[in-house]
Amino acid sequence: MAFMSKAKYVHSNLPEWMRFTEKHSESREIFDFLENDSVLEILPATSKAGRSTDATFVIRDELATHPNAKANFTAIYPTVSGGAQLIDLSTIDQLDTESHFTERVERAMKGASRKDLPSGLNVFYGGESGAVLVFGGWELRPERIKGLSNQEWFDREIVPKMTPQDVRQEYPATIEEALDMPEQTRYYSNTALNDMLYQIMPSIRCDDIDTRNGIIEIYKPAVVGEMYCGYLDPSDGKEDPFHMVFLNTRTGEGVCEATGMLPVDEVAKLFDELIRYYNAFNTFEVNGVGYAVWTILKTLNTPNQAPRRSIEGTPVNIGGEENTGQYVSSQMRDSVLKDLEIPIRKRLIVSHRRETIEQLRTLVRVKLDGRMNSKSSTYNQTRYVLRVPKGKHDDAIMAWAGVWRLQKYAPSFQGVGAVVSVKFNQSR
């Protein structure tokens, strides 16, 4: 209803020659005119609002708070695709990492050209979604209180009365501020990840390795006397990319990363090739498609495979045999992701791949409401889960978390380019 009030207020303040005669001047839901049969109709924010309409102009206001925003987009898209213009208006909710509105903003910005207008508006066009994005910061409004500049008003009325997080949420000056997740919800240190960017180096050519048109990125060649670990987060190439990391355990440096959409048999063979090149102690996630990797690596007689381990780190033997490949339960996932926080914060690891660093930024700690325990009828304490926003990938994060966990159990052996017989220390 507030939007309708604004529309009527604007219309009432137009010059007389621009105003039309209202059909239903007392209505709070319909704003229509005698002269041209135009109608402005306010609909509730449901999942089906606007379905089968013949509207030529659709506005969704405060979309970040729309509880059915994604489903509603599906409902109105036939109207939009038929020629109607769609405008989404909202403040970005920084705490909602799965917001449909934020997803729309990011897709409009991806690959877009940016133009900063004299008015202060920022315009992005030509992005992935084809939508045009217009951003206006809090300073765009020329005057808040008569006699005070914007900055004077901000320093007097906002800074003393709001937390820094609330200021950034409600009064972003730039699109970067509006999209930046609050520091306390991001799991890995943003400052440390920024520092990691300064250590990025380009991949190098390696005559011993076919990079598969850039799928493999080698940053440091194999060196005799260094110890390497390799971890693979596999994929079948249909929905998610695979990701593998090879780590120099002495320097904490990612000497090689590879990612892409390949069939699982090609992924397994590529992993075997890099294992042999770096003579790396290795393992992989064995869940789901990982079982196919396990079968192929057995056929290839891949060397230096680590034994499967429990969350506590003890080897897991099934049927009296030592098993390879790491099973990653939800508890194991949380454990390895948490283990990676310290080496990132203390600058103990380095990734030379910019996309990996940006993916590490996306892991957030999300607060869950306490829930009643059905067995004890007691209310559990507040708990948190670690996740990436909907539509984002965590393959690089999981590969780095996996290789960091793996290096703790790496045996001490040297040599590059040959299969080395290793006796694993089962007690570590």
pLDDT attached to residue 140 = 87
**DSSP structural state of residue 21:** P
Which carries the bigger pLDDT value, residue 33 or residue 108? 108
Residues in Cβ contact with 332 at an 8 Å cutoff, skipping those fewer than 6 apart: 311, 326
Identity of the highest mean pLDDT range in 55-69, 152-166, 396-410: 396-410
Chain centroid offset of residue 12 CA: 45
CA distance 293 to 325: 9
The phi and psi torsions of 421 (rounded to 5 degrees) equal: -75, 125
**DSSP structural state of residue 284:** E
pLDDT attached to residue 142 = 80
Our CA angle for 87, 70, 260, nearest 5°, is 105
CA distance 282 to 324: 9
pLDDT attached to residue 320 = 55
Residue 343: is its pLDDT beyond 90? yes
pLDDT attached to residue 199 = 93
pLDDT attached to residue 164 = 75
**In percent, how much of the chain has pLDDT > 90?**
43
Strand partners, 321: 318
Of 273, 292, 277, nearest in space to 234 by CA: 292
User: Binning pLDDT at 50, 70 and 90, where does residue 368 land?
Assistant: low
Task: Show the tokens assigned to 174.
Answer: 């730039």
pLDDT in tens, 16-29: 888 888 777 767 67
User: Distances from the Cα of 56 to the Cαs of 28, 34, 43, 50, 361, in angstroms?
Assistant: 21, 18, 15, 11, 40
Domains of the chain: 2-179 (no CATH), 190-407 (3.30.420.240)
- 3-state SS assignment for residue 266: helix
